[in-house]
Amino acid sequence: MRTISDTIARLAAMRGGPRFPTNPHDDRLSDLGAFGSNPGALRGRCYIPHDLPPGAALVVVLHGCTQTAAGYDHGSGWSRLADEEGFAVLYPEQQRANNPNLCFNWFVPEDMRRDRGEALSIRQMIDTIVAEHGLDRRRIFVTGLSAGGAMAASMLASYPEVFAGGAIIAGLAHGSASTIPEAFDRMRGHGGPSTAELQRRLKEASPHEGPWPRVSIWQGSADATVAPSNADSILGQWQGVHRVEPGLPRTETVDGHMRQVWRDAGGREVIERYTIAGMGHGTPLKTLGEDGLGNVAPFMIEAGISSTRRIAAFWEITKGAATGRAKVSRQPASGRAVELRAAVDIPRAVRVDHAAETPKSPVRGSATGISKTIEDALRTAGLMR
């Protein structure tokens, strides 16, 4: 594990990263209003299409560090897709009083466990919006980028009975860190629990015994902020509950990027992993063409593939009528590629800056012992309020 001084030095080097620009005119979201005791002190925002059908699906979206709900929506295009496909979108939003860099506190046990802190606040938001708009409790999904992706992983682990599926973009496995130094080590790909231990932590996160949410994993191969090895950890954690073989996934090339798929005993696709070639830290977008969606911004990267559209298709909340066709190269058991023409939904990519995704210690509550030492050091370095 890295020393505290090394961690502080890395934080100092990251100070002053770019912020996610938000034009007020690009804000398509509304405030959710009161939604329970809100122990995590989060803000709730949402988007409800004007012609939302009865029993529509719900997508919960968690932004990354330095981002806002409106900024991430403008970049990813989730509310635009909601208009096209007829589902509701919920955006929990972090507040600076909780985390100065607007990161969800995925590495703080009191915020990422079932019925506690930020996790419970998000759960309360879900209950409120489902009740208010008559949404389908069998079709609730969660996705997030980076710190939001790590929190999405914890929501899937802590409340698996709530979600039909999830998508983790440049995130980390549930329970992979519980302190600031551990968070930085895991982000860099250093140390961390074994696959068996991660599977145990997933099973112990709730009393649920199945069925389990299907999971989509997205990772840039050139990500210098969250090491690609974290995608392996997420995959290993979820392979256990889905009881799929660790090896021999179906592999194909989609819009120039590798997609791997694992099926359960019944033949259903339960885990997919996209590796975005040459992409750094952020959400992959495809902004051009008639299927273009979203906008390039910090941490929102043009990659020629729309993670938003493809995640929604994996969850089966799209109408299924493809507006375009893309080349898919599938790799059969013989190893010889077979060229197929497959209908696909096209999502967008956004560029992310590596410097801004910095976990910050939460402000709620008083710190003691080693935690206080770390926080004092962060404040002295001007990295924490």
From residue 246, alpha-carbon distances to 20, 194, 220, 260, 359 in Å are 37, 14, 21, 12, 31
Q: Decide if 264 contacts 244 (C-beta within 8 A).
A: yes
The total number of residues written for the chain in this structure? 385
Judged by DSSP in three states, 58 sits in strand
Q: Decide if 37 contacts 124 (C-beta within 8 A).
A: yes
Structure tokens that stand for 89 in this block: 């979108």
| Secondary structure (DSSP) of 87-151 | -EEEEEE--TTT-TT----TT-HHHHSTTSHHHHHHHHHHHHHHHHHT--TTSEEEEEETHHHHH
Using CA of residue 308, residue 314, residue 315, residue 319, what is the dihedral sign?
Answer: positive
Strand-strand pairing, 58-62 and 43-47: unpaired
Structure tokens that stand for 196 in this block: 């068996």
| Secondary structure (DSSP) of 141-159 | EEEEETHHHHHHHHHHHH-
Nearest CA to 343 among 309, 315, 302?
309
Q: Which active-site residues does the annotation give? A: 146
